[in-house]
């Protein structure tokens, strides 16, 4: 799109530190008057003109897509052409046979290339879904003094670490049962499989509502285990371990920041929860100097009562004021089709600015296939000056909003596997991310909730995006920009980003030079002989 001197600068009128009704007014004026400007295309009268014009148009179109501003050095170009390009081409020929993302590790050399590659950051991942569920079952459910109950519908379980048998809760179908005793009665294999199945879900074509019901029940099980003084520390240490083992260098974690429950039934204040997150991150960084760090976004679930959401945002304000480099902002998340839209919370969301405080927003918006009131969450997220948009799946239905996102550099956190499992898209090649990539929108690939769908880290989502969102000839330059975007679009300060990029560049150079020391160059042309370990 050509920029002209008449372009309306929304950012000048809607400064991030204070949101006003004037901001919303001028933004709506912009929407009413903004028209796309398309360059005129010549009419051709002969074959040579058509060929020349088509090439020029494709070159111009390609120049705005992701990765096109990245320059590769000679070694990177060699790796791209002799290793990555043949692997991608081979996999694309058989793409339809990869029916499930769960089949990817056993069938994709590209995946193993990406897993080995350093990835700048995962900027959208939830605290309840960071750890492989097999680890959760084998470690957290084997800790002493753990009780469980079946929920009233019998579909899920809830947990409680306690010094004594807990009192019956309204969500329990019956009394609490000792996990240790029930495991003995049922047998280890059957009991552990039952727990695992209740905390995971399979990808299958079904209504989004059914998928969400299963998903919410699965993460509720994990919530009880980690927001406890017994499970919290080992869980979050394992969470950061799995992130780093996938060569992800930094995370921004969305967390409800709930009070941590003690075994005597009492709980710590929410500020203490943040401090526990901070301490665990500090300890992990000290043990793993290559890990850049973690920051946190406090979230409310949109199904909560307004009073609870107001309490959450006031907690976020207080924690952001006291720990601005750790608690970096606020979000409202959850199933949009049934939950309250953002415009129902406007009075609450203006509380920070009305008190002269800055609280960055990172709203989930447009995580829906609907085209009506629900997807208008994207509009209100933009007008509320959100820093990034979580998912933005429905953004392509709103061309003016898509232009605003690009002009104002509002980053879209794209979560491919999550969108597939929760039945927004079946074939990833039809994902809106294709449009975001080709139009050069500010995009960062994220994992959202990997654990319930039996994945770990960020490589699955990078693989999905690289194979489905990019052109056949796109290669290492796109992966490099995807990786750098995890730092570029983070909330780190300029000094923090400078140090982070230094760490990333060192890791990237090690990744690239590692190919010189392997036999991968010689074997890349014969993919049948290529072992995953070579990558």
> Which residues does the annotation mark as catalytic?
367, 391
Residues paired with 411 in a beta bridge: 388
How far apart (Å, rounded) are the C-alpha atoms in residues 167 and 149? 11
Q: How far is CA 101 from the centre of its chain?
A: 16
Given a contact cutoff of 8 angstroms between Cβ atoms, the answer to whether 454 and 133 are in contact is yes
Buried b (16+ CB within 10 A) or exposed e, 297-332: bbbbbbebeeeebbebbebbbebbeebeebbbbbbb
Tell me the C-alpha distance between 329 and 411, whole Å.
15
Q: Give 294's strand partners.
A: 251
What's the rounded Cα separation, in Å, for the pair 491 and 253? 12
Query: Distance between CA atoms of 161 and 224, rounded to whole angstroms?
Result: 9
Token readout for 69 is 């501003």
Looking at residue 169, the DSSP 8-state letter turns out to be P
Look at residue 255 and give its three-state secondary structure: strand
Closest CA to 486 of 509, 511, 458: 458
For 172, the token pair is 């329990």
Residues with Cβ < 8 Å from 219, sequence gap 6 or more?
A: 126, 128, 129, 449, 452
- How big is the chain, counted in residues? 535
Joined together, the tokens standing for residue 396 give 């392509």
Query: If DSSP codes are grouped into helix, strand and coil, which group holds residue 490?
Result: coil
β-sheet bridge partners, residue 255: 298
């Amino acid at each position: 799109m050509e920029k002209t001197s008449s372009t309306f600068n929304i950012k000048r009128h809607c400064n991030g530190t204070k949101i006003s009704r004037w901001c919303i007014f001028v933004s709506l004026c912009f929407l009413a008057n903004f028209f796309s400007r398309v360059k005129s295309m010549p009419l051709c009268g002969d074959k040579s003109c058509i060929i020349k014009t088509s090439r020029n148009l494709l070159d111009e179109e390609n120049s705005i897509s992701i990765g096109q501003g990245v320059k590769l050095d000679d070694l990177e170009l060699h790796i791209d052409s002799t290793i990555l390009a043949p692997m991608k081409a081979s996999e694309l020929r058989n793409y339809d046979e990869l029916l499930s993302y769960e089949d990817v590790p056993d069938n994709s050399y590209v995946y193993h290339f990406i897993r080995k590659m350093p990835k700048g950051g995962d900027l959208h991942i939830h605290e309840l879904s960071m750890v492989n569920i097999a680890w959760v079952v084998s470690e957290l459910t084997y800790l002493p003094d753990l009780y469980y109950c079946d929920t009233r519908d019998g579909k899920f379980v809830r947990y409680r670490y306690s010094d004594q048998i807990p009192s019956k809760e309204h969500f329990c179908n019956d009394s609490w049962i000792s996990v240790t005793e029930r495991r003995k009665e049922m047998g280890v294999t059957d009991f552990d499989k039952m727990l695992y199945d209740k905390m995971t879900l399979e990808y299958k074509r079904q209504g989004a509502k059914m998928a969400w019901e299963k998903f919410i029940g699965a993460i509720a099980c994990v919530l009880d285990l980690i927001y406890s003084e017994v499970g919290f520390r080992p869980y979050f240490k394992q969470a950061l371990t799995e992130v780093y083992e996938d060569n992800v260098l930094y995370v921004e974690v969305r967390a409800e920041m709930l009070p941590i429950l003690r075994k005597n039934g009492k709980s710590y204040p929410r500020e203490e929860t943040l401090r526990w997150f901070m301490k665990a991150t500090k300890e992990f960084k000290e043990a793993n100097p290559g890990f850049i760090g973690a920051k946190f976004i406090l979230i409310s679930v949109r199904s909560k009562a307004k009073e609870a959401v107001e309490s959450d945002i006031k907690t976020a304000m207080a924690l952001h004021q006291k720990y601005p480099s750790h608690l970096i902002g606020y979000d409202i998340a959850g199933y949009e089709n049934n939950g309250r839209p953002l415009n129902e919370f406007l009075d609450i969301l203006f509380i920070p600015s009305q008190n002269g405080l800055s609280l960055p927003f990172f709203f989930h918006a447009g995580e829906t296939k609907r085209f009506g009131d629900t997807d208008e969450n994207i509009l209100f997220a933009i007008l509320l000056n959100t820093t990034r948009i979580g998912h933005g799946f429905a953004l392509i239905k709103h061309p003016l909003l898509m232009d605003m996102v690009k002009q104002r550099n509002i980053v879209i956190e794209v979560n491919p596997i999550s969108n597939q499992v929760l039945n927004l898209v079946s074939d990833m090649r039809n994902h809106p991310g294709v449009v975001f990539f080709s139009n050069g929108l500010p995009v960062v690939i994220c994992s959202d909730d990997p654990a319930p769908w039996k994945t770990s880290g960020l490589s699955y989502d990078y693989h999905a995006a690289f194979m489905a969102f990019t052109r056949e000839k796109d290669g290492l330059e796109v992966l490099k920009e995807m990786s750098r975007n995890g730092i570029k679009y983070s909330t780190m300060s300029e000094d923090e980003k400078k140090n982070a990029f230094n760490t990333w560049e060192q890791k990237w150079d090690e990744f690239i030079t590692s190919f010189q020391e392997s036999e991968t160059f010689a074997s890349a042309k014969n993919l049948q002989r290529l072992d995953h370990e070579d990558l």
